[in-house]
Amino acid sequence: MMKSYQIVYPSPDTSMKKIVTKILLLILATCTCLQFILFVIHFFSGWSHESAPTPALKSGTFYVAELQKNDQQLENAKQEQITAPRYLSDLSTLQFRHKTSLITKRICAQHYELLILVASAPPNLQRRNNIRLTWAFRRALKPRWTTVFLVAQVQNQPLSNFLLREDEVYGDLVRADYFDHYWNQTRKIQMGFEWAIRYCRFSFLLKTDDDVFVNTPAVLSFLNNPTIPNVMLYAGKQYKNPWILRSGKWKVSLEEFAGIHYPDFCAGFGYILSRDVVASFVEAFSMVPFFRLDDVYVGMLAKKTGIKIVHADGFELNSKRPELQCTPSTNFKTLIRHGVEGNCLIEMYHRAVLSRRDSDRSNELSHT
């Protein structure tokens, strides 16, 4: 049997309704589209503002002026805030954007030949004080070096308050906003390098630890030696083709870092970088993924930026023989000695000072 089909025409009433609905939908779609475009523009302008490297950092030059401008902006905003409370929420965005969680914005008082960064664990006040009283101590009116301690945050409230006081008294802590922990040392050197580049004028940076003796004048003579370059310098106790340890204290899993060797690096207790190298390392933070062994991480930064290591003999691990532990090497070539603290540090310091006096005196004698 044939089925008959009948064409049903819509009544004029329903077709009108459909047209109106279509127009409304079109208007709605256009609005959504516009809103989306505005959002995209807004998003990307904010994003580019945040991630664009400052020109000064890019060229590796010093920019306290820029910093002061920034502080001025902050100051102005604070002033305005008194009359217009709505500025309150904008205050944080006006602050200088750091690459790391660096907090300290203290500016170095002058140019230094040598800026010494000491990685220190928050409770080690005694070690910091011994360092302040020995090799960090400066007699000169216009000193050639300065020393700061890199210390992050602690959960313990009394210690946290104590660190604030310590910084008020000595003014030599560089702080960042993360919890201090042995496996967060890489964050420590990152924030330290950023502070150095943004807030301090210097020729060379020495990174060291709070259980290390530094023969400061000897390091300065070492750096003034014409065979030591002023730029592209990464000097210390070099580990060549270092094995990736799969067991023990410094064990690293294959997931963390695959391979057999790390790139060459300098032992973390003491290495020296020229200013341009520090600047290029700070630039490279975003390109070299976080790795928790900080001295290895610096080796990775060096590889990334094409910096070659200068191995130097004066960067010493402490001797296993007790009679040699608290005294500079017999030829007094000790620049930096690891594993020296407490009375040993004080002994070592006095011996180094005395040996210097002796050599000065014999120099005088040989001149007469």
**With respect to ligand NAG, which residue has the nearer C-beta, 9 or 183?**
183
Shortest Å, Cβ 236 to ligand NAG: 25
Near ligand NAG in 160-179, by CB under 6 A? 178-179
Task: Please tell me the chain's helix, strand, coil percentages from 3-state DSSP, rounded to the nearest 5.
Answer: 50, 15, 35
Stated as kind and residue range, the H or E segment containing 146 is: strand 145-153
**With respect to ligand NAG, which residue has the nearer C-beta, 74 or 159?**
159
**With respect to ligand NAG, which residue has the nearer C-beta, 138 or 181?**
181
The residue number with the shortest CB distance to ligand NAG is: 178
Shortest Å, Cβ 180 to ligand NAG: 7
- The answer to whether 183 contacts ligand NAG (rule: CB under 6 A) is yes
- The answer to whether 203 contacts ligand NAG (rule: CB under 6 A) is no
CA distances to 104, 151, 159, 291, 358 from 182, in Å: 21, 12, 17, 13, 40
Size of the site for ligand NAG (CB under 6 A): 6
Q: Give the largest Cα separation in the chain, rounded.
A: 135
Find the binder of ligand NAG among 98, 105, 143, 184 (CB under 6 A): 184
Paired sense of beta strands 145-153 and 111-119, if any? parallel
- The answer to whether 256 contacts ligand NAG (rule: CB under 6 A) is no
Cα–Cα dist 143/278, whole Å: 22
Shortest Å, Cβ 246 to ligand NAG: 21
**With respect to ligand NAG, which residue has the nearer C-beta, 156 or 230?**
156
Cα–Cα dist 99/278, whole Å: 14
Q: Is 248 left (phi over 0), alpha (psi -120 to 50) or beta?
A: left
Residues of this chain that interact with ligand NAG (CB under 6 A) are 178-179, 181, 183-184, 187
